[in-house]
Amino acid sequence: TQAYIEGFWRPWRKHQFSLKWERVKRDGGEVIVQDEIDWGGVVFPVGVSVSGTNDSDFLSGAYRWSLYKNEKFEIGPAIGIGHIWIDASLTGQVQVDGEDLLETTTVTGSASSITGDIGAFFYWWPGERWMARGDFRYIAVGLDDADAAIAEGRASITWYPWRKVGIGAQYSYTSLEYKRDTIVTELGGKIQYDGLQILLSLAF
């Protein structure tokens, strides 16, 4: 599941600020462990069945400057800062005291960090009641001693049947890659989300 809410404020013609909160949650089906997993001393041996979850919240603010702008189109760079929270878990059979005896348990891990990002955006008004928008950002994450990054992009088309209310659809892409020198006791891996979303736009 993926959901977000974002607000925009344009104090001057070529300057825009935004604030966004986003939640992404993914539940994985059961898979058979091909290589032993040691998470904080809890061992999932080869051959057992495990399932995983990933839950992340992302709060960010951005500044966008219109490098080029006319009545129908604008494009420019964007910079931002934010904070990300990540929680993950594995559920399956684990070894008890290093013996062959197995029991079912859930192991969890979490991390959080301040983020910084750079990117670009565009707006296009092809008709009186139509607006197309694209927003693309590369987000650097400093999770303790981890090397992590998020690539995020959105492209949408919105129709305004009323002056201040619009409905539309957008394609959303998010890729989180999280590396460590040692991934024995901490989170690590790559997760990608993409797909279509229904969009509601309100103007004030």
| Whether pTM exceeds 0.75 | yes
pLDDT, averaged across the chain: 85
Q: Could you please report the per-residue DSSP string of 69-118? A: E-SSEEEEEEEEEEEEEEEEEEEEEEESTTSS-EEEEEEEEEEEEEEEEE
pLDDT-derived band of residue 144, with 50, 70 and 90 as boundaries? Answer: low
State mean pLDDT over 136-158.
81
The dihedral region occupied by 40, where left means phi > 0, alpha psi between -120 and 50, and beta the remainder, is left
d(CA 74, CA 125): 9
d(CA 131, CA 104): 52
Measured in whole angstroms, the distance separating CA 117 from the mean position of its chain's CA atoms is 13
Q: Could you report the per-residue pLDDT of 80-122, keeping only the tens digit for each?
A: 998 888 888 888 877 676 566 677 888 887 878 888 889 999 9
pLDDT-derived band of residue 145, with 50, 70 and 90 as boundaries? Answer: low
State the burial class of residue 176 (Cβ atoms within 10 Å of its Cβ: 0-12, 13-18, 19+). buried
The CA distances from residue 24 to 21, 78, 185, 193, in Å, are: 10, 23, 23, 9
